[in-house]
Copies of this chain bind each other. A is one copy, B any other.
Amino acid sequence: MGVTDQTFQEISPADFFYRNKEIAGFSNPARAIFSAIRELVENSLDATEPLGILPDIYIRLSSLNEGEDENIYVLRVRDNGSGIPVDYVPLAFCQFLFSSKYKLKQSRGTFGLGGTMTILYGQITTNKPVKVISSTGGQKIYEYVLMIDIERNRPVILERRIYNNDSKWHGTIVEVNLEGDYFKAMPKILEYLKQTAIVNPYANIMFIDPKGRLYKFERTVSVLPPPPKETLPHPHGVDVETIYRIIRVTKCGTLLSFMQEHFHRVGKRIAQRFLEFAGFPEDADPKKLKPEEIVRFVQAMKSFNGFLPPDADSLSPLGEEILRAGILKELEPEFVAVTQRKPSAYSGHPFIVEVGIAYGGKISSGEDIILYRFANKIPLVYDESGDVSWRIIKSINWRKYGLMPGMPFAVLVHICSTKVPWKTVGKEIIADRPEVSREILNGIREVARQLSIYLARKEKIKRERARLSIFAKYLPKIAELSTKLTGKEKVPNINDLLRRAKKFEED
């Protein structure tokens, strides 16, 4: 019965993502070349900005066989980031689920597999190894030529070279061969780079495309947002597994110290009040908790109201100034309003929503409202209709703000969090969490009101101008006529009258 058909098989994480590359954004040649650029650029940004380095990122995509119809490209991305310690290079690039990003702080990467996914895709389409050159700024620069053993999820080192680093250069260069369809992907790639420049105006980004065209996004601000700090787990977001992991490593002998040592914003008094609420003695040994006690402990953590909300130290929002600068630089609008919402949290994960609205300038008016979506300073350019921000945009009664689709305005939503609620591994769609959507909605309302005031004022000025121009046109004629009719010789001075008719200053 049945057993015949059931052959079981164990596959490696590399094999899993090889078989399911679509879910990581590598579904076809066009999408793959987009994702490859995106993943490497985001790795470069993560290797610079959070470490206090103003990013210089240089992207070159060249065609291997100009003129032929095969679509094989070489993608080279160079950054001035921190570089990768020599021994970690093969693992960081050619082993799935090996990463520096599995931490409780905001970063662009969260799954720790975008770079490796890009290399895997290059390998299975071109059979060529990846070249990685990196230095952390020490005496040497290391160059590796690597492949992935997909069935075993291990890096294969083909070559390794060492150069002197006299200039103390630090950074990373990745050069990968891959199949792609650049011309189909081009609009999305350029849009992605433009929007990256909007939320990273402190970065220099250069892109040379296969036709040799240069796209330059230049730094306009030289201050970086405050870097995120690694944080402790918030009690509201903790599950049984987390508690076990902490218990395994803790040196605390009492629950009182355990609470203070391992959880976010728990001081002595809060720890005491929590333990009383949960019904555990302060001096109980955490290592001696029984399985059912641990469940009770976690349940109490979820339901206790006395914990402080997560603070925003682990986050690195843009701030209103940088956001405004980015919008002004790329969209050159006639009006812009931005707002940063207060830090908030969902299931123990802190987040901040930043919202902007821009009107006029380079913004074209289309059928639908233009929405720019960002998460942890990444622009999201695919799958808009599934995203929480799109749903909110659609739910707003824009007429209330004197706005409607078709007018040249754009809304920008940026969510940053230690845990962005991604729906997909390809990081394109953000799920609908009530706490997050409330902040987005309120943020949009706030900037929409400001635009509404601006437009009302602009409309008034326009009407006023029209009124004044009528005055200015007819008043002299009326004055002349009245002069004639009354037989007076001198036409009265009407400038004073005109001035008094001006109700608004136009500055």
Contacts and interface: CB of A to CB of B under 8 A. Distances in A.
Interface in A32-91: 47, 50-51, 53, 70, 81-85, 88, 91
Interface stretch (A10-18, A207-215, A333-341): A10-18
A125 interface: yes
A86 to B, nearest CB: 11
Interface stretch (A94-102, A359-367, A399-407): A94-102
Contacts of A291: 127-128
A129 to B, nearest CB: 9
Contact of A421 (B22, B50, B81, B103): B22
Given A9-B102, A19-B102, 18 more contacts: A1-B83, A2-B47, A2-B51, A2-B82, A2-B83, A3-B82, A3-B136, A5-B82, A8-B100, A10-B97, A10-B98, A18-B241, A20-B422, A22-B431, A124-B239, A126-B240, A383-B423, A386-B429
A361 to B, nearest CB: 31
Interface stretch (A252-260, A262-270, A292-300, A463-471): A292-300
B239 A125 contact: yes
A245 interface: yes
10 contacts: A1-B51, A2-B137, A10-B95, A10-B97, A13-B13, A15-B97, A18-B241, A27-B421, A124-B241, A127-B291
A139 interface: no
A128 B298 CA distance: 13
A5 B50 contact: yes
A170 interface: yes
A10 B88 CA distance: 11
Given A1-B136, A1-B137, A100 B423 contact: no
B241 A100 contact: no
Contact of A295 (B9, B88, B126): B126
Contacts of A3: 82-83, 85, 136
Nearest to A420: B22
Contacts of A11: 97-99, 102, 112
A483 interface: no
Given A1-B83, A8-B100, A97-B12, A423 B424 contact: yes
A226 to B, nearest CB: 14
Given A2-B81, A240-B124, A383-B386, A7 B423 contact: no
A385 interface: yes
A12 B6 CA distance: 25
Contact of A422 (B22, B84, B123, B298): B22
Given A6-B82, A8-B88, A27 B431 contact: yes
A322 interface: no
A237 to B, nearest CB: 12
A357 interface: no
Contacts of A318: none
A165 B39 CA distance: 54
Contacts of A124: 239-241
A92 interface: yes
Contacts of A28: 347
Contacts of A82: 1-3, 5-6
